[in-house]
């Protein structure tokens, strides 16, 4: 995980241009916003990344806690949302300072693939402590074992074609082949879970889960799971 954190905390070419970055984060924010239970809800986005459109989620909630492990990203988030009274930025290593059972909705999107099984289990135990008894945990972007890298490529190209950056996406894909991301994906790999295994992992941490009807974000061949404390 430390190598992945370092990757996300340095300049990289995952987003082919500013349009791609904007569309990516806007889509996630709009999908998450649909799960916010009400205007007074406390929401936590764990491993939020740049969270460019976190204001969309905050606008539907009472409080939004953005939690991130990459120090440089934390600093950038703090600057970007300094004037947003509903948004608080928290380094991941301070998560244990948060009070028990104070969060209505926790989102962990596109994070599990970068975690070891032990790290995922530990995160879920923390979430179980933080969630209210009737709270909801959303675990998104789970990669099935049989999903190929080409499926990710096709999903990106569909997104690019629909949003006017197809040419940049093709160039960006060629650049990614020789990038640190490709190297880390080869050397460290990405964690993958089928549906029964992911449900079992959630159950072991004290959750009752089910697969969502659609994945959060643009890659609909990946999976999102919805879970509540048991």
The residue to which tokens 């998560």 are assigned: 95
Residue 156: C-alpha distances to residues 61, 112, 139, 190 (Å): 30, 20, 21, 18
Q: Which residues pair with 145 in a beta bridge?
A: none
Q: What is the pLDDT of residue 51?
A: 97
Q: What's the structural domain count of the chain?
A: 1
pLDDT above 60 for 1: no
Lowest mean pLDDT among 5-14, 68-77, 188-197: 5-14
pLDDT of residue 189: 81
CA dist 207 and 202 (Å) reads: 5
DSSP 3-state assignment of 230? Answer: coil
With 80 as the cut, is the pLDDT of residue 179 above it? no
- 138's enclosing H/E stretch is strand 131-142
DSSP-assigned beta bridge partners for residue 109: 140
Which domain covers residue 202, as residue numbers?
A: 2-229
Strands 131-142 and 87-91: unpaired
pTM of the shown model: 0.92
Query: 145-172, pLDDT tens digit by residue?
Result: 999 888 989 999 999 999 999 999 999 8
DSSP 78-137: HHHTTT-TTEEEEEGGGGGGSPTT-EEEEEEES-GGGS-HHHHHHHHHHHHHHEEEEEEE
For residue 178, the domain's CATH number is 3.40.50.150
Report the chain's mean pLDDT, rounded to a whole number.
Answer: 93
- Model confidence at 217: pLDDT above 80: yes
Percent of the chain exceeding pLDDT 70 equals 99
Instruction: Please compute the mean of the pLDDT values over residues 21-25 and round it to a whole number.
Output: 95
The pLDDT of residue 203 is above 70: yes
Question: What is the predicted pLDDT for the residue at 2?
Answer: 55
141 has a pLDDT exceeding 70: yes
**How far is it, in rounded angstroms, from Cα 214 to Cα 226?**
11
Is residue 100 within 8 A of residue 129, CB to CB? The reply is yes
Residue 184: its H or E element: helix 180-187
pLDDT in the model for residue 14: 83
Asked if residue 27 has pLDDT above 60, the reply is yes
């Amino acid at each position: 995980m430390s190598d992945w954190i370092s990757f996300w905390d340095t300049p990289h070419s995952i987003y082919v241009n500013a349009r791609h970055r904007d569309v990516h984060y806007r889509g996630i924010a709009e999908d998450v916003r649909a799960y916010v239970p009400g205007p007074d809800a406390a929401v936590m986005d764990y491993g939020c990344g740049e969270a460019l459109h976190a204001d969309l989620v905050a606008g539907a909630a009472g409080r939004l806690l953005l939690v991130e492990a990459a120090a440089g990203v934390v600093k950038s988030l703090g600057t970007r949302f300094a004037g947003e009274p509903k948004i608080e930025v928290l380094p991941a290593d301070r998560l244990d300072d948060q009070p028990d059972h104070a969060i209505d909705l926790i989102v962990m999107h596109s994070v599990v693939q970068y975690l070891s099984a032990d790290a995922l289990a530990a995160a879920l135990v923390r979430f179980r402590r933080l969630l209210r008894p009737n709270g909801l945990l959303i675990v998104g972007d789970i990669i099935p074992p049989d999903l190929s890298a080409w499926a990710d490529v096709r999903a990106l190209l569909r997104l690019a074609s629909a949003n006017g950056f197809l040419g940049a996406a093709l160039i960006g894909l060629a650049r990614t082949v020789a990038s640190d991301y490709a190297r880390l994906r080869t050397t460290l790999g990405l964690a993958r879970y089928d549906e029964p295994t992911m449900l079992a992992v959630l159950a072991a941490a004290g959750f009752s889960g089910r697969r969502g009807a659609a994945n959060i974000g643009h890659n609909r061949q990946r999976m999102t799971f919805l879970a509540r404390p048991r």
